[in-house]
């Protein structure tokens, strides 16, 4: 059987295959039920109302519109290649506020999904006369890799903590949010990466605990349905997990270029990691001096290293600078050349 690529279609097929599940749209409905907002499934003899939401809209353009106006600021770092936004914002005095603005902009679909699901569960419980049923929101992401699992979980937790004007919790109908993210992976061991399955429990409302038990069972059943092993982490803290977008870790089909091989080698053995920032800058300036001596015509001093060795060391240095998020301007204090004492900057 050919695998269905779309995550939402696969999850619908999975949910329909479960014992004691009912696809609500396939049920005979009375007039009130037909007109009301409804969840997608009943699980466990209608003790759980499940609503499925997918994150589909790419919001990366919102990041550009927020961050680009800051590029002309003097604090904006000079860097080579690509940097994570967090590393750039760390150089700006108001970087934390800018970062929060970005998070809110790119994750606007999350509060919308929670709000809609809360209403759908509430109306489903009312129209089917199920006052004790609990709500499960399944949040699927196979399209928006700018939304990391850390951002999704943080935004869900922030939303679940909110209250309405009467003082009641805003999302009283959602007991658990189950996140299935196929845009990111985390490193399990040296050879294995895995997509995360994350359960966020709404600690602000009373729950029987039955939905949590159900979701733990669904984790295993989903892994079996997908044909992959379920790997559980002993440490469930999100802070100790690192996630990378799939596109950045997928192996390239083309042969690696020489500098890409050097980058890969350094990431496997980052020998400069133990240097302090000052020591790294001093080392970087030493490499730049040799680069100056190699490529500047009639340099008064000869380089200590040959071109190939310098290219290798320079690539390794850039990898470490990128990892730490160091402004390249710190490497501009290079050796002075010539009788006039002029400073020759390679950058």
What percent of the chain lies above the pLDDT cut of 70?
A: 89
Q: What are the DSSP calls for 276-327, one per residue?
A: -HHHHHHHHHHHHHHHHHHHSTT-SS--SS-HHHHHHHHHHHHHHHHHHT--
Of residues 32 and 174, more confidently modeled: 174
In this structure, how many other beta carbons lie within 10 angstroms of the beta carbon of residue 99?
Answer: 18
- Encode pLDDT of 106-165 as tens digits: 888 999 999 999 999 999 999 999 999 999 999 999 988 888 999 999 999 999 999 999
pLDDT for position 250: 54
Q: Among 56-60, 115-119, 167-171, 288-292, which stretch is predicted with the lowest mean pLDDT?
A: 56-60
pLDDT for position 306: 86
pLDDT at residue 49 greater than cutoff 90: yes
- Encode pLDDT of 322-344 as tens digits: 999 999 888 876 544 333 333 34
Average pLDDT, the chain: 87
Overall average pLDDT of the 243-265 stretch: 80
pLDDT at residue 263 greater than cutoff 80: yes
pLDDT for position 247: 67
- Encode pLDDT of 270-306 as tens digits: 999 999 999 999 999 889 888 878 876 666 667 778 8
pLDDT for position 288: 86
pLDDT at residue 213 greater than cutoff 60: yes
d(CA 168, CA 67): 36
CB-based contact 291:244 (threshold 8 Å): no
pLDDT for position 217: 96
Of residues 82 and 310, more confidently modeled: 310
Of residues 262 and 337, more confidently modeled: 262
Q: Measuring CA to CA, which residue among 70, 90, 88 is closest to residue 79?
A: 88
Plot region of 44 (φ>0 → left; ψ -120 to 50 → alpha; else → beta): left
- Encode pLDDT of 302-325 as tens digits: 777 888 899 999 999 999 999 999
pLDDT for position 336: 44
Q: Measuring CA to CA, which residue among 228, 232, 227 is closest to residue 215?
A: 232
Longest distance between any two alpha carbons in the chain, whole Å = 94
pLDDT at residue 347 greater than cutoff 50: no
pLDDT at residue 198 greater than cutoff 60: yes
pLDDT at residue 251 greater than cutoff 60: no
Measured CA distances, 174 to 37, 132, 141, 195, 206 (Å): 15, 12, 19, 24, 10
pLDDT at residue 255 greater than cutoff 80: yes
pLDDT for position 5: 75
């Amino acid at each position: 059987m050919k695998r269905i690529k779309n995550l939402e279609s696969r999850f619908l097929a999975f949910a329909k295959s479960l014992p004691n599940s009912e696809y609500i749209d396939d049920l005979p409905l009375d007039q009130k039920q037909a007109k009301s907002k409804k969840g997608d499934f009943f699980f466990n003899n209608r003790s759980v109302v499940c609503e499925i939401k997918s994150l589909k809209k790419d919001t990366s353009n919102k990041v550009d519109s927020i961050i680009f106006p800051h590029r002309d600021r003097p604090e904006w770092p000079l860097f080579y290649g690509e940097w994570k936004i967090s590393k750039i914002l760390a150089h700006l005095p108001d970087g934390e506020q800018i970062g929060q603005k970005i998070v809110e902009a790119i994750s606007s679909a999350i509060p919308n999904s929670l709000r809609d699901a809360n209403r759908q569960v509430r109306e489903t419980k009312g129209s089917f006369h199920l006052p004790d049923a609990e709500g499960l929101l399944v949040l699927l992401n196979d399209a928006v890799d700018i939304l990391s699992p850390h951002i999704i979980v943080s935004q869900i937790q922030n939303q679940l903590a909110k209250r309405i004007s009467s003082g009641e919790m805003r999302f009283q109908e959602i007991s658990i949010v189950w996140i299935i993210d196929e845009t990111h992976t985390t490193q399990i061991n040296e050879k294995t990466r895995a997509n995360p399955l994350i359960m966020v429990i709404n600690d602000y409302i009373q729950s029987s605990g039955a939905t949590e038990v159900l979701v733990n069972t669904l984790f295993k059943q989903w892994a079996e349905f997908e044909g992959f092993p379920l790997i559980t982490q002993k440490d469930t803290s999100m802070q100790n997990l690192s996630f990378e977008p799939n596109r950045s870790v997928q192996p390239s089909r083309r042969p690696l270029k020489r500098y890409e091989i050097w980058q890969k080698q350094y990431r496997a053995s980052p020998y400069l990691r133990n240097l302090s920032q000052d020591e790294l800058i001093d080392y970087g300036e030493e490499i730049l001096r040799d680069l100056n001596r190699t490529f500047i015509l009639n340099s008064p001093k000869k380089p200590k290293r040959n071109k190939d060795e310098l290219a290798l060391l320079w690539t390794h240095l850039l990898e470490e600078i990128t990892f730490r998020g160091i402004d390249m301007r710190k490497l501009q204090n290079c050796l002075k050349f010539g009788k006039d004492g002029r400073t020759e900057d390679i950058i």
